[in-house]
Chain A
């Protein structure tokens, strides 16, 4: 019959054995404790997302490297070379002015991508600030800010972008970025607020407060870093929207002024002659589609990687 002393000794022996056996495992366990590593690992298991990530990087690489590598200047007007079909010298053909479309597409891509990223960042900044303030403040401030946000949802996106541009009078990089941001930051703000509110309830926040941490420390050190995952996912979700928005505006003639062209402007050029030369509109459109699709699948993969609970694949 086991006595208390015997039992205690058994227990201790078991512990020691376990500890010794675990020494090797301990090193490995700490390595894997990094959340980022976990997320990257999960992301790379999702084939669609990895392909999309490659595609995205490829496109960004294309728009930046090609004009630099290709000697054909996009501004040379040479009517004798107008509307050339796809060939080795001109893989995308030429447009009505004889300009090489490959380079033009790449340059146009630079504009579209830059505007896209800038606007996305702007949306993030505005949205995160608004949402974080609202969620963190809570109470009547939160209420008021959310009611206001609800009201803003009634603003139609494109008309307001157009109005903003009209107010500015000119359309350049920065006015376009502002115009695209004006009516697009609402969802981000709302989601951020939700995140902050959920995270606020966590015990470590209470612990930090009890230890005397000030609000800005809690917000910047504890809460915001934990929203990083959501923010990254949203970047890839918002990017397609603004790129498409800019393309729409340019297509309608309300976009960037020549000679600077974006994909939307190229598409508009192509539209005028699509019946005889369809590729001029098809190519920039496909470039846009490429970017959008890859961003979407990246966002999907990121979402799965960062929140394993959303795996509904059975």
Chain B
């Protein structure tokens, strides 16, 4: 098992290098010295200092080398717009917000999606099944921005009296939990529909397996047959879907953070692009890539843990 983890970890390095290369190559296409893009004129001497400090006077491969070195020492360079902040600072400030939002959204997706999928499958072709699947399917197609808008419109505005939820903003301290609810639901909605569909399909397939028939023939209580025998096997595909779902969460977060005015890195990414703060853009992209890669690795490990057959098959 350990060998497996180590090998996966080692493989992430070339992947990150590749991502950095891509991002860097793309960024380099933008002509000119990034510092010159800002409106405010920079005094000559300071400009030269900055150039020297960030190697902007050197050829591109040197810049690349220094940047890569920076990535692996967790130094992502300075912000081009916020002069007194580095990219690291910005990320440190905004990432925890997005992280919490993402985790809450995922929690919502699982807590609602898995039971819905299970219920639907166990009552296949009944009214419950159709209604649930109608809800899930329609939910998956409605774009994130409408979901968010509707949530705000109903729960924070129209029914303000009953719910007392704020329309936007985000308070990352524990006391500010009310600001977390609507955004988490909005962001978790699409992943929820995905989980529901996957779990439903998976349970339907598992329930037909011979070993479920054996479990029933042993006289085990229905609760146990479903809760242990069926679920253990059905959740495996759901887990493998979790990693690509991370991509969804990231994409969705851009919209949700925008609408709810949440100071997360999704929103900051958009700001950095429109504000031409390209080092921030690069830094965030590299970080997001790293997260996705790590998440994939975690899912692989989790899969090995859940399905004993793969443990022995790994060479």
Contacts and interface: CB of A to CB of B under 8 A. Distances in A.
Nearest to A267: B145
A60 interface: no
A162 interface: yes
B247 A289 contact: no
A293 B157 CA distance: 29
A162 B270 contact: yes
B270 A288 contact: no
A155 B292 CA distance: 8
Contacts, number: 126
Given A240-B141, A271-B259, A289-B142, A154 B274 contact: no
B289 A251 contact: no
Given A154-B289, A162-B270, A162-B273, A288 B26 contact: no
Do most interface residues of chain B lie in helix, strand or loop, or is the interface mixed?
helix
B110 interface: no
A91 interface: no
A74 to B, nearest CB: 22
Interface residues of A, number: 43
B128 to A, nearest CB: 17
A253 B22 CA distance: 24
A272 to B, nearest CB: 11
A154 B15 contact: yes
B235 interface: no
Contact of A292 (B141, B153, B259, B296): B141
Interface in A108-140: none
Given A156-B288, A248-B143, A289-B138, A271 B149 contact: yes
Given A153-B292, A248-B254, 13 more contacts: A152-B18, A154-B18, A154-B290, A154-B293, A156-B288, A162-B269, A162-B273, A167-B27, A251-B145, A281-B145, A282-B146, A285-B142, A289-B141
24 contacts: A154-B15, A154-B18, A154-B296, A155-B22, A156-B289, A158-B251, A167-B26, A167-B29, A245-B251, A248-B144, A248-B251, A252-B254, A252-B258, A254-B274, A267-B145, A271-B259, A278-B153, A285-B142, A285-B145, A289-B138, A289-B141, A290-B141, A292-B140, A296-B141
Interface of A: 148, 150-160, 162-164, 166-167, 240, 244-245, 247-248, 251-254, 267, 271, 274-275, 278, 281-282, 285-286, 288-290, 292-293, 296, 312, 314
